[in-house]
């Protein structure tokens, strides 16, 4: 029997603090919380940047026929006739 390697662990991201937030460093935060809020944005030399978004990727069409379709009138008549 061969040993199976465990999957690699995902990188653990560094825990962010309010001191690293753009709003807190520029005196724009009015909240007094123990942890960063949902509006946290990292302070960057270029200023405030929007959060990165997922890229839109088109999928290749795989099916030539739908997985399910309504029965035709003739099939309906045979089923319920």
35 within a domain of the structure (yes/no): yes
**pLDDT > 70 in the chain, percent:** 74
pLDDT band for position 69 (cuts 50, 70, 90): confident
Q: Report, as an integer, the average pLDDT of 41-52.
A: 83
CA distance 29 to 16: 16
80 within a domain of the structure (yes/no): no
25 within a domain of the structure (yes/no): yes
- Would you mind telling me the total number of residues written for the chain in this entry? 81
User: Which one-letter DSSP state was computed for residue 21?
Assistant: B
41 within a domain of the structure (yes/no): yes
33 within a domain of the structure (yes/no): yes
CA distance 60 to 54: 18
Question: What is the tally of structural domains in the chain?
Answer: 1
The reported pTM is 0.46
67 within a domain of the structure (yes/no): no
First to last CA, the chain: 61
> Which residues constitute the domain of residue 30?
14-49
Residues 6+ apart with CB under 8 A from 63: none
């Amino acid at each position: 029997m061969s040993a199976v390697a465990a999957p690699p662990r995902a990188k653990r991201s560094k825990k962010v603090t309010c001191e690293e937030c753009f709003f807190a460093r520029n005196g724009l935060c009015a909240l007094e919380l123990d942890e960063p809020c949902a509006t946290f944005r990292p302070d960057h030399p270029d200023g405030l940047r929007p959060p990165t978004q997922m890229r839109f990727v088109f999928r290749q069409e795989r099916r030539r026929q739908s997985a399910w379709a309504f029965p035709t009138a003739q099939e309906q008549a045979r089923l319920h006739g």
